[in-house]
Amino acid sequence: MCGAKAGGPDLAGVDVANETIIQGSVTRNEEPVNGYVRLLDENGEFTAEVPTSATGQFRFFARPGKWTLRALVPGATVDRQVVATQGEFTEVAIAV
């Protein structure tokens, strides 16, 4: 999975009702930050990593449940816990 497209996430052709989607953006002082976001399972084990887009956006398709998002940007690492539900967007804003 690549980072979200610049200009906003595009879900054309995706059956959202059958997916579990975790998406959001990474910012510093309300400005987008380039970096990476890791998806860690409930045990803290690495599952996936995506680069942020030019607008700081990211997206994962995952199974329902508890996850940790780890934003890795120059000079900062921030963790954010989320609970994802099938058929719903889990929208996460990560400020570093």
Specify the pLDDT at position 88: 87
pLDDT in tens, 12-34: 777 778 889 999 999 999 999 99
What's the helix, strand, coil split of the chain in %, to 5?
5, 55, 45
Containing 17, the helix (H) or strand (E) segment is none
CA 22, CA 9: separation in Å to the nearest integer? 11
When the candidates are 1.20.1440.230, 2.60.40.10, 1.10.3720.10, 1.10.420.10, the CATH number that belongs to 16-95 is 2.60.40.10
Q: Domain limits of the chain?
A: 16-95
pLDDT digits over 30-87, tens only?
999 999 999 999 999 999 999 999 999 999 999 999 999 999 999 999 999 999 999 8
Entry pTM? 0.84
